[in-house]
Copies of this chain bind each other. A is one copy, B any other.
């Protein structure tokens, strides 16, 4: 018998990545398909299963694969379904775990959302190794979260708990969020929110900024980061105010579950200290004194190119027959 493996599948709004991963977190083989090339779920699962079959044969056959883990927007661990995901081609409730299992040698499949998969990945292979209580915050197009308490991911009563991008941070004149409510954390501290802050400041103020040389409508958080690294005052201010709001939110998360660490991942987390330092300052200022210094702020320790597959694959070990 060879060594056991798991499969990780990350379903994104653009690409679907998949890979075969061993127990130490090495990705042995991987592949991808374009999510939007398959407007119906049957053809998507067929293409995915075909891709997986190739990798499985390369690795020594399906007998060695212990489980398949899937990270997907609106993926529900409890039901195994994707439920009403707005950025995927398939509408309504899709019984994804069942469909993949039926087309992939009857291997057990577990599904969760992408931020939860990231948390499981950090616990298995990243910054949360050895921790039982931590929160992963993904700062990308949106703000997602995976909450681990007592070594278990928090799914809540309906399988969708841990939507910390949608705590309300500004109850007066809050920015409208994609969820239809004003003032959500996501509206300010996602990569998109940072770009929006840049556009707002540039149009409401007249001071000099490197960002003024750019097409204002197409500024990204990466542009703001690069300008800040060159000392651009306005861009530094944006990171300061973004960190301020994140620190305020983290103070509330800490009174809830008092994690050992809050771990940042996603595109915006690449800003590193430029973001961590203002968050820590804000947390020192806004946190409840009894929790001062109890929770570490950390960056993801997974390579971004591998994180999605690794996180999903770690869930594969938990997939039940």
Contacts and interface: CB of A to CB of B under 8 A. Distances in A.
Interface string A117-147: 0000000000000000100000000000001
A168 B287 CA distance: 10
Given A167-B252, A252-B252, A156 B259 contact: yes
A30 to B, nearest CB: 32
Q: Interface of chain A, helix or strand or loop or mixed?
A: loop
Given A171-B171, A248-B171, A160 B256 contact: no
A314 B260 CA distance: 28
A161 B294 CA distance: 11
Interface residues of A, number: 43
Contacts of A150: 149-150, 152, 154
Given A154-B149, A171-B248, A294-B158, A180 B289 contact: yes
Nearest to A255: B163
Contacts of A252: 167-168, 252
Interface string A44-76: 000000000000000000000000000000000
A13 B256 CA distance: 24
A98 interface: no
Copies per complex? 2
B289 A161 contact: no
A288 interface: yes
A169 B183 CA distance: 12
A157 B259 contact: yes
Given A133-B157, A154-B149, A291-B160, A168 B286 contact: yes
Contacts of A217: none
A266 interface: no
Contacts of A84: 290
A199 B300 CA distance: 49
A106 to B, nearest CB: 28
Given A168-B248, A255-B166, A133 B160 contact: no
Given A168-B248, A168-B251, A288-B179, A162 B256 contact: yes
B181 A288 contact: yes
A258 interface: yes
Contacts of A260: 157
A259 B154 CA distance: 10
Nearest to A134: B157
A295 interface: yes
Interface in A269-284: none
Contacts of A163: 255, 288, 290-291
Contacts of A256: 147, 154, 161-162, 164, 167, 253, 256-257
Nearest to A84: B290
Chain B CB count within 10 A is highest, among A169, A248, A255, A286, for A255
Interface in A11-47: none
Interface of A: 84, 133, 147, 149-150, 152, 154-158, 160-164, 166-172, 179-181, 248, 251-253, 255-260, 286, 288-291, 294-295
